[in-house]
A and B are shown apart, each in its own frame.
Chain A
Amino acid sequence: QKEVEQDPGPLSVPEGAIVSLNCTYSNSAFQYFMWYRQYSRKGPELLMYTYSSGNKEDGRFTAQVDKSSKYISLFIRDSQPSDSATYLCAMSAIGGATNKLIFGTGTLLAVQP
C-alpha cells in the first residue's frame, strides 16, 4: 500500500463548477499537508499549506485536513480554464526546510470553457 493515495483522474468539469480533489494517507505521523499545482512541462507550484487538522481558505481555494480519517481535500470554487493542470497532494512528518515530502500521484483536472 502506498503511503499516499490520490485518484489520478482525469477529471473534466465545466467552467464555474466546484471541484473536489482528495487524498488519503496511511502514515499517522504526517502533520504537514500541501497541495501543489503542476502545469504541463513545469515544476509543481505550492498552492496551499496546512498544519494538522482543520480548514484553510485562500481566494477560490479551500484545503481541508481530517487527521482522524487520514483524508485531505482541496476545493476549487468557480473553476476557470486556467485551473486546468495536475494537482498533487503532498505531506510530511516534520515541517521547516528539511522535511521530505511524500506526494500523491496527482489528479489531472480539465476545466472546459
Chain B
Amino acid sequence: ETGVTQSPTHLIKTRGQQVTLRCSSQSGHNTVSWYQQALGQGPQFIFQYYREEENGRGNFPPRFSGLQFPNYSSELNVNALELDDSALYLCASSSQTLYGYTFGSGTRLTVV
C-alpha cells in the first residue's frame, strides 16, 4: 500500500485525558515527522523520528511524546490534554533520497 495513513480520522477527548494517534509511513520511507495544524494556520513541527530515535523537536511541551517502530510506523501521544490541543495532527514520511514530505490526511482532535 502506498501513501501515509493515519488513524483515527476524528477524535473527541475531554480536557485532562490522554490520546494516542497512529501513522503508517509510505513504503520505503524511514523518517516520520509530526505536525500540528490549528484552524486557519500552517502546520507546526512537533518532532521527527529517524531509525526509532527522536531526531529534532519543535517548541512543544514534554507531554507531547512519540515512538517509531521497526517497520517505521509511528505514534504521537499527548498527555493531560488542553483545549488548545484541538487541531489537525499531520504525520509525514520521507526517505533520505527524497525532497519534501508525503503527508497523511491527518487526525482531527477536538478537546472539550
Interface residues on A, range: 20 to 34
Bitwise interface map of B from 76 to 107 toward A, beta carbon under 8 Å scored 1, else 0: 00000000000000101011111111111110
Q: Does A95 contact B (CB under 8 A)?
A: yes
Residues on A with beta carbons closer than 8 Å to the beta carbon of B50: 97-98
Bitwise interface map of B from 27 to 60 toward A, beta carbon under 8 Å scored 1, else 0: 0011101010000111111001010000110100
Residues on A with beta carbons closer than 8 Å to the beta carbon of B102: 46
Bitwise interface map of A from 35 to 49 toward B, beta carbon under 8 Å scored 1, else 0: 010000111111001
B103 to A98, Cβ gap below 8 A?
A: no
With contacts A34-B100, A98-B55 taken as known, whether A43 is within 8 angstroms of B106 at the C-beta atoms is yes
Q: Nearest-CB distance from B6 to chain A (Å)? A: 8
Q: Nearest-CB distance from A8 to chain B (Å)? A: 7
Q: Nearest-CB distance from A46 to chain B (Å)? A: 4
A106 to B42, Cβ gap below 8 A?
A: yes
> How many residues of chain B have a CB within 8 Å of chain A?
32
B42 to A6, Cβ gap below 8 A?
A: yes
Residues on A with beta carbons closer than 8 Å to the beta carbon of B58: 100
Q: Does B4 contact A (CB under 8 A)?
A: yes
Residues on A with beta carbons closer than 8 Å to the beta carbon of B31: 97-98
Q: Does A25 contact B (CB under 8 A)?
A: no
B104 to A43, Cβ gap below 8 A?
A: yes
Contact of B40 among A32, A103, A105 (CB under 8 A): A105
B56 to A98, Cβ gap below 8 A?
A: yes
| Contacts from A to B (Cβ < 8 Å) | 4, 6, 8, 32, 34, 36, 41-46, 49, 88, 90, 95-98, 100-106
